[in-house]
Amino acid sequence: MTEKIIIAGFGGQGVLFTGQLLAYAGMMEGKHVSWIPSYGAEMRGGTAHCAVTIADEEISSPLVEEPGTVFVFNLPSLLKFAPRLKPGGMLLINSSLVKQEVKRNDLRIYSVPANQIAEKIKSAQLANLVMLGAYLKLTGVVSFHSVAASLEKTLPARRRHLLPYNRQALEEGMRLFGEPN
């Protein structure tokens, strides 16, 4: 198994953190991982994306030219990365912010109202975890428990009080496509 993922949006949407969580969870499960961040000209509010590879075997190149999965948190990310998805790939769209229809019919497309769900929990800043929860339920690439443990290890001390909300956001994302495991 080799899963190549691009996660893209505006700076401040937790795009890079989402990729870190996936990579960390993969490491905890003994998988080979790579994570490459990319920032736009400005940090918060500018564009940001990361490439994550999770595999059972060694990774020959960390570059992700033709991803199997793309998470898009905004319209510019959809326009830039959806064309790069390989045929049959998975496209997760934050439908709270992206209203444009995708023209390709060779993809598995999932609309996730991530901001709406996150705001009901506590804050739109949890939208990244809602999207990640949906991805976990749809793929099982890494387990919910590994991602939850990764959160506990990577969340800065000043944000530790948010752990219950982060976990709830993951669970709500999973619930979109069935009950959490």
Domain range list for the chain: 2-175
Residue-level pLDDT at 44: 56
Write out pLDDT tens, residues 105-115.
999 999 999 99
The β-bridge partners of 105 are none
CA dihedral 150, 152, 155, 160 (to 10 degrees): 160
Q: What is the DSSP string of 38-59?
A: EE-SSSTTSEEEEEEEEESS--
Low-confidence ranges of the chain (pLDDT < 50): none
Residue-level pLDDT at 180: 59
Query: How many other CB atoms are there within 10 angstroms of residue 181's CB atom?
Result: 11
Q: How far apart are CA 181 and CA 172, in angstroms?
A: 12
Residue-level pLDDT at 179: 66
Tokens at residue 58, please? 């060694």
Measured between alpha carbons, how far is residue 89 from residues 61, 81, 85, 180 in Å?
Answer: 20, 12, 6, 23
Right CATH for 2-175 from 3.40.50.1820, 3.40.920.10, 3.10.510.20, 3.40.640.10: 3.40.920.10
* Plot region of 162 (φ>0 → left; ψ -120 to 50 → alpha; else → beta): alpha
